[in-house]
Amino acid sequence: MTDTVPEKRIKHPYFMYDMIRETGKSLDITRKTMENVDYSFLAGEPLLFTGNGTAYHAAQIGAGFLYKTNKKYAFVQSFELLNYYRPVYGTVVGISNSGKTKSTIDSLLYQKKFAYIVGITHYYGTPMDKISNKSIVIDSDDKSLCNTKSFFDNAIAAMYIGSKYSKLDIDINKIIGTIKELIASMDLKVKEIAHKISYVNRIFVLGAGPEEPVAREAAQKIKEATHINAEGIELEEFIHGCTSLIDEKSLLILINSDTVSSRTQDIVNACKVVGTKTVTLNGEGDYSIYLPDLGDEYLNALLNIVPLYYLAYYLAVEQNVNPDLLRFDEEKYRKFDDIVFPPGAH
């Protein structure tokens, strides 16, 4: 079960908004925490990141630049790691905001027989804190069940570990500074877009390469916050069957880059024919949002989360939905959660 449900607010600003706005302060805590870590545990190979949902996406997005290296690494969802993956004779980094996500803890306990376990969480005294060979606790509470603030903490923590492991010189301070600037500058622009598209009832978020996990994380936040059906899917994969689902009440969010700009524009142009509105990051659409370019697609991916979190939030406000609770204030949804997550397991 989800043990702590936030206090119920009845209007904007909800906790999700406060948590987005407080991300900068939390990242300062994350930076201080990660700069004091002894990374000698990364001496061997391979390195594997694991987690569920937002925590898993944080690892993929924060350390996605490992795709550019020859190092041995992997990102594996925790349930898959537990049930279908071979033992890892190296380092396994588990991420869980609460520190008690059942399948994550179970997978780490199994892999601990073979690997060195690093746990990244936000709370002391949790199962993850206790079972890890090295526990990294980012002491910053996220008061919304959407866990937007903790996503950025976990992604930056994964970035530190990935950069130390690969020995790539990544200017994490610059990335944190840019995230802070975007949190301040994107608010009102995205709010206006959300108002104009508040009628949509189906959303697809498209991204390729390092943006595919961004698309999945954005779709997850839209579902959690708004209760609108949303799917994050690889850019090219979308046009192989999903186009039969879109119409005048659908929305496509496209995460563009120089690599895929031609294909992105094809999809934007095609959407005009069927009347589906588009929101494009770093490209032309019915609504366009431009972000700074860090000179690396794999690092830009983390920046692209900022406007998409705001979009999820303001769409929830437009729908008069409390984005903090994931419907756990409704008895039948609370009972559902109690069944799939035993007490103390989420």
Q: What CATH number corresponds to the domain at position 115?
A: 3.40.50.10490
The owner of tokens 């608010």 is: 187
**Residues 27 and 164 placed together within one structural domain of the fold:** yes
Note whether 295 and 210 are same-domain residues: yes
pLDDT digits (tens, 9 = 90+) for 139-155: 999 999 999 999 999 99
Q: Does the pLDDT at position 341 exceed 50?
A: yes
**E strand or H helix at 202, and its extent?**
strand 202-207
- 215 and 122 within one domain: no
| 333 assigned to some structural domain | no
Average pLDDT, integer, range 180-195: 98
Phi-psi region of 115 (alpha: psi -120 to 50; beta: other; left: phi over 0): beta
Same domain, yes or no: 117 and 251: no
**Residue 168 sits in the same domain as residue 231:** no
**pLDDT grade for 1, boundaries at 50, 70 and 90:** very low
Does 335 fall in a domain? no
Residues 136 and 21 in one domain: yes
Whether 296 maps to a domain, the answer reads yes
What strands, in cross-sheet order, belong to the sheet with 116-121? 73-77, 47-51, 91-95, 116-121, 134-137
Is residue 172 domain-shared with residue 191, that is, in the same domain?
no
The tens digit of pLDDT for each residue in 72-118 reads: 999 999 999 999 999 999 999 999 999 999 999 999 999 999 999 99
One domain, residues 156 and 227: no
- What is the reported pLDDT for 342? 79
Q: How many domains does the chain have?
A: 2
Tell me if 314 is assigned to some domain. Answer: yes
Domain region containing 45: 15-178
In this structure, are 191 and 128 located in the same domain?
no
The answer to whether position 309 is within a domain reads yes
Whole-number pLDDT of residue 3: 62
Domain shared by 205 and 147, yes or no: no
d(CA 250, CA 160): 38
Does residue 325 belong to any structural domain of this protein? no
Q: Are residues 172 and 41 in the same domain?
A: yes
